[in-house]
Structure 1
Amino acid sequence: MAEVKTDSSRYPSHPVQVRSARHHAEQVLRDWGVGDSTTDAVVYVACELASNAVRHACTSQGREFGLTLRLLENIVRVEVRDPDPTLPADIAQEEDLEADGGRGLLIVDRLASSWGSAPEVLGKTIWADIPLEIAAAGADRTAPLCAEGTS
């Protein structure tokens, strides 16, 4: 079995910190030698989950969210932990193209081979497994993977 690599970081719960988490994740994955298409998918998922943690987890100023990346044999696992115990609701499988938001977990569902949530003593962790050989997600590489603080 290949060596497991793990990186964990914490960020203040503020929309601007989503960009910091995105940049950190990208650098870690590059340092680990993860390919471009997998890196793009992992960074996008990390950004979506971090944005949700900041936006929907009702975290007050001074609270934090955590981002953990795990390089396993065939996947990269993305974990975002926040202090709100509310687990995500089931996602609708239909996209509402008129909606202002709400497609973040649908995108995570499509990029990840599996994803889920786990309650913690304080809060919850949302995780997603991204296959190492994921096909390009059709993202425009000239555009940022996600806007800061949005989902």
Structure 2
Amino acid sequence: MVRPCRLTPQEAAVSTADATDEPPEIGSDPGSASVELPVSVSVEVPVSVSVRRWPNGPLCVPRARHHLRREMKAWGVAPPVVDAAELVVSELVTNAVRHASRPRGRLIETRFLRMGDGVRIEVHDANEVWPQAHKAAEDEESGRGLALVDALTDARWGVSRREGVGKLVWAVVGKGDAG
């Protein structure tokens, strides 16, 4: 049985030139324990994409949230999904503003990709340090953002490298299979 796997377009851009339906020759190299197997790849292409760059500062959080809401309403996404996505983008952009303010003068980029009945939210920043989820103490006033993102996305979020410097933090809200 071949299980389809979901990959981002970047992950799916691997070469399949060496793939073959022929079984590997067993025993041709007695020291070899590796076997190449055919892989089935399923990639969902976004229906719509919105990309914006924001100056790194506290004002970009409400602006990104407002931009996301406007785009999702135009795309016809259900209001409960829009509400959850607004919270997710607020947390991710806040993290970028708070923790990725260096190098100075770099922009934060948001990408919203409509996928099925949901949206993939990406927040790109120039900081190389990846966020770490941790359990906040009851008396702490911050530190719950990634736990909230995890709950709102059914654990469909992560961090990836990006071209150039920095990282992108992504999350999928709704029924889109973009993770």
Fold-level match, TM-score > 0.5?
A: yes
CA shift, 1:129, in A, is: 0.8
Distance 1:97 1:20, change over 3 A: same
Q: Specify the alignment match of 1:57 in structure 2.
A: 100
Out of 147, 157, 172, which is 1:115 matched to? 157
Q: Specify the alignment match of 1:142 in structure 2.
A: none
Aligned residues: 131
Q: Report which structure shows greater RCO (CA 8 Å, sep ≥6).
A: 1
TM-score scaled by length of structure 2: 0.68
Percent of pairs identical after alignment? Answer: 34
TM-score scaled by length of structure 1: 0.79
The CA RMSD measured in Å over matched residues stands at 1.9
- Encode CA deviations 1:95-142: one digit per residue, 9 max, x unaligned: 523112010000000001310000122100000011249xxxxxxxxx
Distance 1:3 1:87 in 2: 25
- Encode CA deviations 1:4-46: one digit per residue, 9 max, x unaligned: 1111111000011111111111100111111111000111101
- Greater displacement, 34-43 / 58-67: 58-67
CA shift, 1:61, in A, is: 4.6
Out of 123, 147, 156, which is 1:106 matched to? 147
Three-state SS of the structure 1 residue aligned to 2:57 is coil
Out of 94, 97, 106, which is 2:138 matched to? 97
Please list every run of 5 or more consecutive structure 2 residues that lacks an aligned counterpart in the other structure: 1-43
Aligned AA for 2:143? G
Q: Specify the alignment match of 1:24 in structure 2.
A: 67
Please list every run of 5 or more consecutive structure 1 residues that lacks an aligned counterpart in the other structure: 134-151
Aligned AA for 2:153? A
Bigger radius of gyration:
2
Higher share of residues assigned helix: 1
